[in-house]
Structure 1
Amino acid sequence: MKIIDKYILKRYLGTFFVMLIMFIPIGITIDVSEKVNKMIENKIPLLEILVYYGDFTIYFANLLFPVFLFLSIIWFTSKLANNTEIIAILSSGISFTRFLRPFIYGAVIISFFALMMGFFLVPKASKGFNDFRYKNLKGNSQTRETSDIFRQIKKEGLIEENIYVSNFNYLSQTGFNFTYERFNDNVLIEKVTANRIKYDQETKKYTLFNYNKRIVGQVDDQLSNLEKIVVKYNFEPDDLTPVVYVAETMTIGQLNAFINKERARGNANINTYLVVFHKKFSLPVAAFILTIIAVAVSSMKRRGGMGVNLAIGIVIAFIFIFFDKVFGTLAEKSSIPPFLAVWLPNVVFGILAYFLLRNAKR
């Protein structure tokens, strides 16, 4: 690696981390100002608050990673252009493609870092961040209650087990109008109903109230009725009320296994989890695309100076985020394949990067 490569790479990485250090305290300050009243009101321990803001830092940095990266490249490349350093470099016989090489080295480092963060560190931070907000800041209106839940809890050969709960409250671990059905080759062989079902966290068992059981026989059915009974089933409360952010809290291996399990169960929210899965890979790729766009936009010396380049950069960065959010939401709520929705912004901006780079070379 030549001196020019080390010089640009050092500026690339240094400006990026300085940008993080600058903006993260601003984000924390805004978050504290919004939540300080509830923190005092709920008497949250200081240690718990400090852990929350550690998770917040990782969550916030990952969320706005493309913006920080893009603006940092715009910033220091514009300074190089304004100081006529780029003109000097290109005048020495170095091609624009060769000038771009240390930026690609930097993108590789940042992308690898973002990939590992997304696979292992961000899920843990996301869980801590969201759990803290739900537990301490959301208020009593957020009861995490779901209704009309149908799940397939077992499928082995011809045997199939399904459950239905008309209403389940996660905080009280209580459900109503519970039904369990067991089939053999699509023929009902057992059915259980209960007016109320309550989960015991210690024993991992369910207490059923006003319990009715029917075992279907060839001639006669066997009926049993009890006021209360304790039963162990092959499902947990999280299966009945999966939180919206559950996929964000899993490592890549856990998420893949979770998606396969939910797909087998016929979960209607499977696209939500697939969007999170694909974003773990698309975000690092975006680092390369945004790097090329940023260099192409800011490598020319403009009459308005860095301000013009920064304005262009901010517009492009937020258009990228807008595309990313819109297509992610469409994948969750419509029939658009999650893979296509997540990668389409990268494809569109990749094409833009190609044309901007070709123009910059001229």
Structure 2
Amino acid sequence: MTLIERYIFRNVVTGFISCLLALTLVIWITEALKQMDLLTGKGQTIWVFFTVTALSLPALITVIAPVALFIGAVYALNKLNGDSELIVMSAAGVAPGRLLRPFGYASLAVALLTGWMTIWLMPNSFQGLRDLVTNIRADFVANIVKPGQFTALDSGVTFHYRERQGATLLGIFFQDRREQGKTSIYLAQRGQTVELDGQSYLVLEKGSIQRQDGGNGDNSIVNFDRYAIDLSAFGGEGGEVVYKPRERSTADLLNPNVKDGYYKMQAGRFRAELHDRFAAPLYPVAFMLIAFAALGQARTTRQGRGFAIILALAGVVAVRVLGFLASSAAVRSPAGVIGIYAAPLLGSLFSLLLIFFPDRVAVLTDRLDAARARLVARLPALPLRRA
């Protein structure tokens, strides 16, 4: 890169990094506040709290990075124009392609970062987050329940114990109402959690099981000396973790198990998630080109740039919204995949036309305005009503 290109590149990267850090920090604080119940309600350590919030960052950064690049490009172009540097470069004969080159380097770097995160890092972080949350919910005795409190879990289980003596729990009450119309109540004098082959079990001693079947009115009571309950059954569906499409690796999405029941129900989401990952690196390039098309032309200090920034922002929002709509359409139909790639590519193509062929675009705009004027002139005039 030449000296001018390095100078422009440095301004773009400075604006991008500053915006990326600021937006990431704000959104990370918001996510951290949502996870505060890990400390207050589930008795987790500060390390687990930070781990959970950190695992959600890659998904946030993949959305924030293109927006941060757009803001960084707007910042650099405004700075160049405010210091009259764009006017000097234009007067010196600097072509738009040369001026665009450092912006292209920055967008390429962000696109590579976004692609790496969406294709590899983000699914791994989602999978790690799912495993961690599942383990926290599975071992609810150690992580959630407090002595003397009746704790209701999401899976329809209520647990209570009177007090703890070391690793032993005394006065245990355990109610399981996960199956509609059926209730099982476990009462035990004592019990403790044990680990066996990576699974957590609650071993009860000296107690009874009361089963109530509301459908046929059958009730039964069974006494036991020792009874073990598999706690992993309360952390997921049947103790087996089923990963969602966004939690699966890109290789799994490319070669899914077509016989899997979950895949048969969610085949559209698998398809949309896969193509969303491949299309994600296109958005940094599209957003940068939109910013350059709106603000890359030299203007005097008397010419306001606020309207151009508003148009650029509207273009970025339109491209991103079209991408979301196409992703939703791809869930229902394979034809929606075209829209996933078309949204950023069309935004980039139109921006390139504005950058390199502004005269032709102006002629086309004038023709459209003339056609609109002729159409309005042919419309019958509406009669005025007198008050």
Shorter-chain TM-score bucket reads 0.5 to 0.7
Encode CA deviations 1:38-71: one digit per residue, 9 max, x unaligned. 6412222100111122222222111222222212
Shift of 1:295: 0.8
Alignment-derived partner of residue 271 in structure 1: 268
Q: Work out whether residues 276 and 327 of structure 2, in 8 Å CA contact, stay in contact via their aligned partners in 1.
A: no
Within 2, Cα distance between the matches of 1:328 and 1:142? 31
Q: Work out whether residues 299 and 360 of structure 1, in 8 Å CA contact, stay in contact via their aligned partners in 2.
A: no
* 1:281 matched to 2:270: no
RMSD: 3.6
Alignment-derived partner of residue 64 in structure 2: 64
Residues 116-125 or 301-310, more deviating: 301-310
Q: Secondary structure at the match of 1:43?
A: coil
Distance 1:247-1:288 versus aligned 2 partners, 3 A rule: same
Shift of 1:23: 1.0
Q: Work out whether residues 16 and 72 of structure 1, in 8 Å CA contact, stay in contact via their aligned partners in 2.
A: yes
Letter in 1 for 2:62: N
Q: Work out whether residues 15 and 71 of structure 2, in 8 Å CA contact, stay in contact via their aligned partners in 1.
A: no
TM-score (norm 2): 0.60
Q: Secondary structure at the match of 2:108?
A: helix
Q: Work out whether residues 123 and 249 of structure 1, in 8 Å CA contact, stay in contact via their aligned partners in 2.
A: yes
Distance 1:140-1:82 versus aligned 2 partners, 3 A rule: farther
Within 2, Cα distance between the matches of 1:62 and 1:238? 33
Q: Which has the larger radius of gyration?
A: 2
Alignment-derived partner of residue 27 in structure 1: 27
Shift of 1:8: 1.6
TM-score (norm 1): 0.64
Within 1, Cα distance between the matches of 2:153 and 2:303? 52
- Of structures 1 and 2, the one with the larger relative CO (CA 8 A, separation 6+) is 1
Alignment-derived partner of residue 85 in structure 1: 85
Within 2, Cα distance between the matches of 1:315 and 1:54? 31
For structure 2, the 5+ residue unaligned runs are: 138-151, 157-175, 181-195, 200-235, 363-387
Q: Work out whether residues 66 and 283 of structure 2, in 8 Å CA contact, stay in contact via their aligned partners in 1.
A: yes
Shift of 1:134: 7.1
Q: Work out whether residues 293 and 356 of structure 1, in 8 Å CA contact, stay in contact via their aligned partners in 2.
A: no
Alignment-derived partner of residue 356 in structure 1: 354
Q: Work out whether residues 253 and 274 of structure 2, in 8 Å CA contact, stay in contact via their aligned partners in 1.
A: yes
Alignment-derived partner of residue 318 in structure 2: 319
Alignment-derived partner of residue 343 in structure 1: 341
How many residues are aligned here?
A: 272
Q: Secondary structure at the match of 1:44?
A: coil
Shift of 1:203: 10
Alignment-derived partner of residue 45 in structure 1: 45
Within 1, Cα distance between the matches of 2:239 and 2:351? 43
Shift of 1:249: 2.5
- Between the two proteins, what is the percent identity of the paired residues? 14
Map 1:1-362; keep pairs closer than 5 Å. 1-37=1-37, 39-129=39-129, 140-141=153-154, 242-243=242-243, 246-257=244-255, 259=256, 261-262=257-258, 267-300=264-297, 301=299, 307-332=306-331, 334-358=332-356
Q: Secondary structure at the match of 1:48?
A: helix
Alignment-derived partner of residue 193 in structure 1: none
Letter in 1 for 2:272: V
Shift of 1:264: 7.9
Within 2, Cα distance between the matches of 1:344 and 1:360? 22
Encode CA deviations 1:219-270: one digit per residue, 9 max, x unaligned. xxxxxxxxxxxxxxxxx97998744xx222233223322x3x2378771421
Letter in 2 for 1:77: L
Q: Work out whether residues 59 and 118 of structure 2, in 8 Å CA contact, stay in contact via their aligned partners in 1.
A: no
Q: Work out whether residues 276 and 340 of structure 2, in 8 Å CA contact, stay in contact via their aligned partners in 1.
A: yes
